[in-house]
Amino acid sequence: MKAAVYKEKGVLAVEEMPSPSPHEGELLVRVTYCGICGTDLHNYSCGIPAPGSVLGHEWCGVVAELGDGVRGFHVGDRVMYHPYGGPGAVAAGEASSRNLRLNPRAIYSAPARRGAYADYITTAASRVARIPDGVSDKAAACLEPLVAAIHAVRLGNLKVSDTVAFIGAGPIALFMIQRVKQAGARAVYVSEISPARAAKATELGADRVFNPLKQDIVEEIVGLTGGRGPDIVYECAAAKGTLDQACRLVAVDGRVTCLAVYQETITLDPLDWYMMQPEIKFTTNRASTPFDWEIAAEALSKRTIDVETVITNIIALDEMQDTFQALLNPATNTMLRVLVKP
Ligand SMILES: [Zn+2]
């Protein structure tokens, strides 16, 4: 089979490799689509994976072979990655009990890592779910980032009539904007440098979208909120000054929820805090819970969040190198969510 293999920092190459065989309890799946995740870009551009790894975790496909002992699936079933969706999964609604200190560099560097930027992937049958009839393959390949969006919206502790700001409107934020509107936000403001992302944010319901290279977003958004600042700021940009900007923008008793994955040390400038005396509640974004997966899968089935509207490009494995490079500079192209079709 063909796979896009991570060779070294900033280099992917399409190579032939043997198709994997399913072990006991596993499925062999022919990959239909695998979405390009921001964490893949991060790992690729920072040189984190072990050379020889195959990345890609936002996938769906068709069952090609059953390992010994697998029940509940048949060859030809459409399936999506859903670690709590298969037989033997955690009971729906049960909170995640993980409280481990993990070393992400060790996880992403695991030499045996075989993801879905490939014709085939093997997976434990307990980590996939059958794709419901009304859900397209393209939508099913968006389940994992939709889970991240659902989780982050809930972390922000949104209340009806809260005002919300997003710093950065990548694909996950574009899913979140839809949910935040449904949840009863009074207004949604967005700061985004990419014209394509800005246009999509407006289309999906953002009340105002600002270009932080041309406008002072703190002044603009604080002005629009009668001097208060938004109740919640979702920091989704990971630029050098955006966390500091989130803290200057948010209401004095507001919440900053940080989804951003930083690639370098950033600074916070708390000089104003002495005079402003804010009581900002700050949260980073941890792993998702089984409940987030349940809600995201339901949103796909009921189509309450339009994930397909954010998909702009379907590419082949041999287009991945150029596409990864382009996605690292989102303001210079019109791509939003990109799916790989091996
Ligand atoms: Zn992802």
Q: Count of domains in the chain?
A: 2
Calculate how far, in angstroms, residue 145's C-alpha sits from the geometric centre of ligand 1. Answer: 5
Which tens digits make up the pLDDT trace of 8-54? 999 999 999 999 999 999 999 999 999 999 989 999 999 888 899 99
Give the distance (Å) from ligand 1 centre to CA of residue 161: 30
CATH of the domain at 246: 3.40.50.720
- Residue 321 sits in a domain of what CATH number? 3.90.180.10
244-264 per-position pLDDT tens digit: 999 999 999 999 999 988 888
Mean of per-residue pLDDT scores for the chain = 91
Q: From the CA of 43, how far away is ligand 1's center (Å)?
A: 12
Q: Reduce the secondary structure of 139-170 to three states and give it as a string.
A: HHCCHHHHHHHHHHHHHCCCCCCCEEEEECCC
Q: Both 170 and 280 in a single domain?
A: yes
Tokens in use for 299? 């949103």
The per-residue pLDDT for 99 is: 46
Strands in 281-284's sheet, in edge-to-edge order, are 208-210, 187-191, 163-167, 232-235, 255-258, 281-284
Q: What is the mean pLDDT of residues 177-194?
A: 97
Task: Tell me, yes or no, if the pTM score tops 0.75.
Answer: yes
* 69's tokens: 């002992």
Q: Among residues 110, 121, 114, 41, which one has the least CA distance to residue 320? A: 41
11 and 133 share one domain:
yes
pLDDT of 272 reads 74
Residue span of the structural domain in which 320 resides: 2-142+307-340
pLDDT tens figures, 94-107: 444 444 555 555 55
| Residue in 257, 262, 255 with CA at minimum distance from that of residue 285 | 257
Q: Are residues 137 and 160 both part of a single domain?
A: no
Q: Ligand 1 center to residue 251 CA distance, Å?
A: 30
Per-residue confidence (pLDDT) for residue 101, from 0 to 100 = 53
**Ligand 1 centroid distance, CA of 298 (Å):** 18
Is the domain of 219 the same as that of 273?
yes
Q: What separation in Å is there between the alpha carbon of 214 and the centre of ligand 1?
A: 31
Residue spans of alpha helices (H) in the chain: 38-46, 104-108, 137-140, 143-155, 171-182, 195-203, 217-224, 242-249, 273-276, 290-302, 320-327
Centroid of ligand 1 to alpha carbon of 40 (angstroms): 8
Average pLDDT over residues 211-230: 96
For residue 19, the CA-to-ligand 1 centroid distance in Å is: 23
Q: Is the pLDDT of residue 55 over 80?
A: yes
178 in the same domain as 275: yes
For CA atoms 283, 292, 312, 30, give the dihedral sign: positive
The answer to whether residues 184 and 267 belong to one domain is yes
Residue 272 CA to ligand 1 centre (angstroms): 36
